């Protein structure tokens, strides 16, 4: 059977769902669905985060921390996925990302 999935899932996302022996902890289809959701969230949040930064003068760190808190407060993504989304958001915006934006 041919795998015709066209979207590249980055290693950083695979790492969220692999065990110590580098085996997936969820089915591949579920991993791909979770990745697409998280990537879409990061893309969607980029405009909001940019507007918050420039509109209110909040620092990039504060904006990223706010996004992380919001993601972790809801049932949509896991805490690890929330961190990945915020990392991806920072990457999309060209902002530096601190190891822990809560500090």
The closest of 94, 81, 71, 70 to 9, measured between CA atoms, is 81
pLDDT value for 37: 97
Q: In this predicted model, what pLDDT tens digit does every residue of 49-90 receive, in sequence order?
A: 999 999 999 999 999 999 999 999 989 999 999 999 999 999
Confidence of residue 100 (pLDDT cuts 50, 70, 90): low
pLDDT at 102 over 60: no
Q: How many CB atoms lie within 10 A of CB 75?
A: 5
pLDDT at 36 over 70: yes
């Amino acid at each position: 059977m041919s795998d015709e999935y066209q979207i590249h899932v980055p290693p950083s996302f695979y790492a969220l769902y692999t065990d110590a022996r580098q085996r997936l902890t969820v089915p591949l289809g579920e991993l791909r669905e979770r990745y697409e959701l998280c990537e879409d969230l990061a893309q969607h949040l980029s405009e909001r985060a940019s507007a918050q930064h420039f509109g209110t003068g909040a620092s990039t760190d504060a904006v990223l921390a706010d996004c992380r808190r919001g993601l972790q407060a809801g049932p949509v993504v896991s805490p690890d996925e929330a961190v990945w989304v915020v990392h991806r958001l920072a990457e999309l915006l060209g902002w530096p990302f601190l190891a822990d934006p809560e500090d």
